[in-house]
A and B are shown apart, each in its own frame.
Chain A
């Protein structure tokens, strides 16, 4: 089942009378349960693509469908609500709320969804245990390492039971041990919960783990490789 459908997506910036095509006619699908990495050099357009897929940025043209819903047509509160219930985000710099504990950070999106404290408790504990932080649930971000904070961010992204998770350079600030641990955890969650992960990354270790690698340059997909014997697509 297709979770994300991207059709001829374009994003053009007008910078001092010169048009910059950050994303230039990308057409792409993601199936449920994929573990995909979008790679490319800096300025290739991978983060812009991810932002448009996540409904954080408006495309200049083209369409993005998430679970059959056309994202481009959603505005304001409806779009925020759609993101809340359908998309999980993991950011490069963790972006946890510093005044909340790991547990509170994780359950935050569930509370935004209006779930009861009891429902949140059970799911939060389960998620934090699955990312290996069962013992640090009451620690605030400042008391956690970078790797641990990013694991809390993954747990938070999963808490709302989204259709997929968008992770923008999730390992960029992590050392190799933390990166390995994080990738193992995300891979495990991907397999156990059949949740779709889409990364944008520079990191070779992420590329190594990903089962699908999409390379983007100058806003265009130049290769799309599925490692389990899938075909290579030139866009």
Chain B
């Protein structure tokens, strides 16, 4: 009965209650969306840390962490691999050799780490093969000798990535019904090659009107992008005998992950190709990347088992290898509730104000209720429920709308490409797919009830201070 009255009381002043409900709804939608965005970002970063960069666990020579010397391979590699094969809860593992090398083409040079991979195992542990740029080759699906997969960023540094307006591009623009003024400029630039995206865009857009440049600049730049596949890159590095050696590789694929730092650093070749020139023996590997089955074991358990059995190796979890991602994963749960807490704290002032107004308008009625036998406890409960209902209604609508927004944006993704370079430089995706766990909504429900209860205390105390006789005299 008390709850029924409280609910009806919410609708006494429809206009006022609706304003509060709308405010709570908007606050909840904003909170859910921001939390979803942060969660999406965090999940993508953690996934990248595990499945692209570090895997769940990495076994290395402890010395290699301080000095990336080619000779610092994993001690007792054969025994370690045999042991991992017998462990339960291991999903997949792959061994890689690593060489820090100088890369050079006829137009540019840079330093990269060549990772010698075992193709099939690598695909089970790492998802780099899923990041091959569309139309830019494949992940070692070639027949030519010494293939290499480099990143888009490395391609740019080595000037393998170019920007050029071709006749095919002009045909595409025509089919897209691009204005003649733009086509004319495109035709003027046909055949000219640029090695920098910025230079191309600057030169091309200079000829266009501001509106056309804004409208077609990105499209044309994207269409003009071209990778010179099968380009030869010469790598210089020190081999296992300490001798300087050279090896040329031909580009078979270009990859681009959301972490520019990772991309700049890593190029992939087949281990057997690298072993021949670097002089690796059959057990010379620099790291073993391992994925585990989290429903069967934990990273920590596997780490302890491996470290105890092979104290001469370094076994690090992704949390140690990518501490930024680990910290993000750990604080995210708290972070959501800080966001929601701040939003609801701001809303609470409005709610308290509304409830105080509602109480002040009903003093005589509250006096009557107490006079005819409604206990102060029940009066308190009535006001508290009224506040909770007011808050809860808005937040339920907000949660539904927020979930809907997350569902849509989680599917389409939110493109932060215009500012994406900054994000990608520190390992965060430019396209974010917001998502949230169902537990978050349960958390909001608890938070909303708490806010409702806390917001009701002031107004309810005001009501409880009333003496029925005085309240009844109020006009």
Contact = CB atoms under 8 A, between A and B. Distances in A.
Nearest to A52: B469
A56 interface: yes
30 contacts: A54-B371, A56-B469, A57-B469, A80-B373, A80-B374, A80-B375, A81-B373, A83-B371, A83-B373, A84-B373, A85-B373, A89-B371, A89-B372, A91-B368, A91-B472, A95-B364, A99-B5, A99-B8, A99-B9, A99-B12, A100-B5, A100-B8, A108-B1, A111-B1, A112-B1, A112-B372, A112-B373, A112-B374, A156-B372, A157-B372
A214 interface: no
Contacts of A97: 5, 365, 369
A23 interface: no
A76 B376 CA distance: 9
B378 interface: yes
Interface string B359-386: 0000011001111111111100000000
A84 B372 contact: yes
A123 B128 CA distance: 77
Contacts of B373: 80-81, 83-85, 109, 112-113, 160
A83 B374 CA distance: 9
A205 B9 CA distance: 37
Interface residues of A, number: 28
Contacts of A88: 372
A100 B7 CA distance: 11
A108 B468 CA distance: 17
Contacts of A156: 372
Contacts of A80: 370, 373-376
B381 to A, nearest CB: 12
Residue of A80, A83, A156, A157 contacting most chain B CB atoms (<10 Å): A80
A56 B472 contact: yes
A41 interface: no
Nearest to B364: A95
B349 interface: no
Chain B facing A: main interface SS: helix
A135 B12 CA distance: 25
Interface string A49-86: 00100101100000000000000000011001101110
Contacts of B11: 99
Contacts of A111: 1
A51 B469 contact: yes
A222 B372 CA distance: 30
Interface string A180-222: 0000000000000000000000000000000000000000000
Contacts of A99: 5, 8-9, 11-12
Contacts of A91: 368, 472
Contacts of A43: none
Interface string A115-156: 000000000000000000000000000000000000000001
B370 to A, nearest CB: 7
Given A89-B372, A95-B364, A56 B377 contact: no
A112 B374 CA distance: 7
A98 B12 contact: yes
A95 B362 CA distance: 11
Contacts of B371: 54, 56, 83, 89
Given A56-B469, A91-B472, A83 B365 contact: no
A160 B373 CA distance: 10
A89 B367 CA distance: 12
Contacts of A57: 469
Interface string B265-306: 000000000000000000000000000000000000000000
A45 to B, nearest CB: 14
B363 to A, nearest CB: 12
Nearest to B7: A99
Residue of A57, A85, A156 contacting most chain B CB atoms (<10 Å): A57
* Top 6 closest pairs, chain A to chain B, by CB: A84-B373, A99-B8, A95-B368, A111-B1, A56-B469, A83-B373
B227 to A, nearest CB: 71
Nearest to A156: B372
A81 B12 CA distance: 28
A76 B374 CA distance: 11
Nearest to B10: A99
Contact of B376 (A77, A85, A108, A157): A77
Contacts of B376: 76-77, 80
Given A99-B8, A99-B9, A112 B377 contact: no
Contacts of A81: 373, 375
Nearest to A117: B1
Contacts of B365: 95, 97-98
Contacts of B372: 83-84, 88-89, 108-109, 112, 156-157
B371 to A, nearest CB: 6
Nearest to B12: A99
Contacts of A51: 469
Given A56-B371, A89-B368, A89-B372, 20 more contacts: A56-B468, A57-B469, A76-B376, A77-B377, A80-B370, A80-B375, A80-B376, A81-B375, A85-B373, A91-B368, A93-B364, A97-B5, A98-B12, A99-B8, A99-B9, A100-B8, A112-B1, A112-B373, A157-B372, A160-B373
